[in-house]
Every structure is written in C-alpha cells, then in structure tokens.
C-alpha cells in the first residue's frame, strides 16, 4: 500500500468512528468500546479485500463477514452504510423501535449482514459452517469472522476451531479482537485465554499477530491468509477498547455497553473531526 492509500483508509476509519458514535449517541447507550476496537479490521476488509456488491447484497459466491462479536453491530452498520448497502441516515435509527439496525447483527433485518449473531461463540461456529458450505460448492468465497477475546472463553469456539482445521477450511479467516477487556473486567482476571497464538496453532490454524489499528499490518496479514495452505487462519489484532475516543479510552475498565450523554457525544464527534 502506498502512503496515500494508507492515509485514505485512516481517514475512513475516523469517519466510521464518527458515524458509529453519532448513531450510539442518538439512542444514548450502546456497545461503544468493542465497536471502536474493530474499525480498522472492518475498513480494511470492506475496502481492500471483500468481494461484495452493495447493489446485490445476496450475490452468489460473495465473500462473507460473520461478526461473531455481534454486539459490535454499530461499527459494522457504519461500514455497510458508508459502502452503500443502505442509506446513512438510517444509522440514526440504531436500536430504536422498528429499526432495521438492532444493537446486535441480524441477517434478516439488515442488507449486507451475513449472519445473525450476539450469542457469543455461536457466530464463529456458524462461520465454520458457511466456510464448509462454500468449500463444498467450490464458489471461491472467503469467509471472514471476528471474535472477541472474552468470547474466546466459550467452549463452542474451540469445538468449531477443531472442526475447521479438520475440514481444512483454508477459505476461513478469523480475527480475534484482543482488546484485553470483556463485559466486566480484564480478560486475564476473569478467565485468562492466553497464550492465544499457541492455542490456535495447536488447533491447526495459521496464526498472525498484528497491531489491530495499523492499516498496513492488518492488510498484510489478510493478504497472507489468502495464500491458502490447507489451514484456516487466525489473525490476532492487538487493539484498544474504545480506540480514538478519549473519554472511552480513559474509562477503559468500563466502556463495554454504557450510556453516552449528548455532551459526551458532541465532545467525541468534535474530537473525531479534529476540532
């Protein structure tokens, strides 16, 4: 990637954070921290790698994104709206009665969402099934999925991980959002999941570890995963929960699913605009 391309995607990440804060600000409460931590991964995927068509969200053979940490739906909606899957103004209906944008991702309500998620562990296991289906159909799709580090405590993750390697699902590329926090504390204090790289390798996966906010590093890891070698790939993203919004980063121990006042919203939006 050249410097201009990197700069454009960094700007895009700021825009996506802006749209996401604006949407959560409009409803007054939401999953702020874990939405902010995966912005770079989503932007790099949708702007550099995924074969999808906003005009035809159900296109045959399209690449899929299963947001297993479905509570970060608001970040995904911002990326999808920005790509043109639906009108950006709809973002302001997030989690309001009658919305097509519920707090957790729902494939039956939102164009561009490929799996209904929110029950931790389940989305990841669904992504394994989707990748197996694609492999059997030989439609050439890549299936991407994003799990949380706290989510890695779910037994379902490891059953599905074992099966994905057994089925040689080289078309499956997963990310762990290693933001070090879960709903009510540090992952290492609640139920430590480390050493994650060794665990995934032992389960038969390729593993890459990158700075999850470094556009170029995330992009390179996804490209490496494209060199298929008979194994699924896990990309571990070292991230910050609440990234780039000062009041969230400052309350890093408590930014999971929290209220956001009109003043906090205005302050965060000004900050993201560079004011």
Ligand X SMILES: Cc1ncc(C[n+]2csc(CCOP(=O)(O)OP(=O)(O)O)c2C)c(N)n1
For residue 67, count other CB atoms closer than 10 A to its CB: 26
Q: Which of 34, 73, 212, 232 binds ligand X (CB under 6 A)?
A: 34
Judge contact between 236 and 178, C-beta under 8 A. Answer: yes
Question: Is 148 a residue that touches Mg ion (CB under 5 A)?
Answer: yes
Minimum Å distance from CB 20 to Mg ion? 17
Scanning 1-9, 41-49, 116-124, 135-143 for contacts with ligand X by CB under 6 A, the matching segment is: 116-124
Minimum Å distance from CB 2 to ligand X? 31
Q: Which of 51, 96, 119, 246 binds ligand X (CB under 6 A)?
A: 119
**CB neighbour class for 181 (10 Å; exposed up to 12, middle 13-18, buried from 19):** buried
Minimum Å distance from CB 70 to ligand X? 7
Q: Which is nearer to ligand X, 114 or 149 (CB)?
A: 149
User: What is the DSSP code string of 222-265?
Assistant: HHHHTS--SS-EEEEEE--TTTT-HHHHHTTTS-SSEE--HHHH
Indicate the SS3 state at residue 208: strand
Dihedral of CA 265/66/173/146: which sign? positive
Residues 6+ away with beta carbon under 8 Å from 199: 193
Q: Which of 62, 69, 135, 213 binds ligand X (CB under 6 A)?
A: 69
Q: Which is nearer to ligand X, 149 or 244 (CB)?
A: 149
Question: Is 151 a residue that touches ligand X (CB under 6 A)?
Answer: yes
Question: Is 212 a residue that touches Mg ion (CB under 5 A)?
Answer: no
**Contacts of ligand X in 176-235 (CB under 6 A):** 177, 179, 181-183
Q: What are the C-alpha distances in Å from 27 to residues 17, 94, 109, 209, 251?
A: 16, 7, 18, 35, 20
Minimum Å distance from CB 179 to ligand X? 5
Q: Which of 118, 123, 232, 242 binds ligand X (CB under 6 A)?
A: 118
**Contacts of Mg ion in 149-178 (CB under 5 A):** 149-150
Q: Using CB under 6 A as the criterion, which residues of the chain lie in contact with ligand X when the complex forms?
A: 33-34, 69, 71, 118-120, 148-151, 177, 179, 181-183, 241, 256
């Amino acid at each position: 990637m050249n410097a201009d391309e990197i700069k454009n995607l960094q700007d895009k990440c700021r825009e996506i954070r802006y749209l996401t804060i604006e949407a959560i600000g409009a409803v007054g409460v939401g999953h702020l921290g874990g939405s902010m931590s995966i912005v770079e991964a989503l932007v790099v995927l949708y702007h550099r790698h995924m074969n999808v068509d906003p005009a035809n969200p159900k296109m045959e053979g399209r690449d899929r994104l299963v947001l297993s940490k479905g509570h970060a739906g608001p970040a995904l909606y911002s990326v999808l709206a920005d790509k043109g899957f639906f009108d950006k103004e709809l973002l302001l209906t997030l989690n309001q009665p009658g919305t097509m944008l519920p707090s957790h991702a729902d494939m039956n309500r939102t164009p561009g969402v490929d799996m209904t998620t929110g029950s931790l562990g389940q989305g990841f296991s669904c992504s394994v099934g989707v990748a197996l289906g694609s492999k059997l159909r030989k439609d050439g799709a890549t299936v991407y999925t994003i799990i949380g580090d706290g989510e890695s405590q779910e037994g379902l993750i490891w059953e599905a991980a074992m099966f994905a390697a057994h089925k040689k699902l080289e078309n499956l590329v997963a990310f762990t959002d290693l933001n070090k926090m879960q709903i009510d504390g540090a992952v290492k204090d609640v139920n430590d999941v480390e050493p994650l790289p060794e665990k995934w390798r032992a389960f038969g996966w390729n593993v890459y570890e990158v700075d999850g906010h470094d556009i170029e590093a995330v992009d390179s890891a996804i490209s490496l995963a494209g060199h298929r070698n008979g194994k699924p790939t896990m990309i571990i993203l070292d991230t910050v929960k609440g990234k780039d919004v000062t009041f969230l980063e400052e309350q890093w121990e408590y930014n999971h699913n929290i209220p956001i006042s009109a003043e906090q919203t205005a302050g965060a939006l000004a900050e993201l605009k560079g004011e």
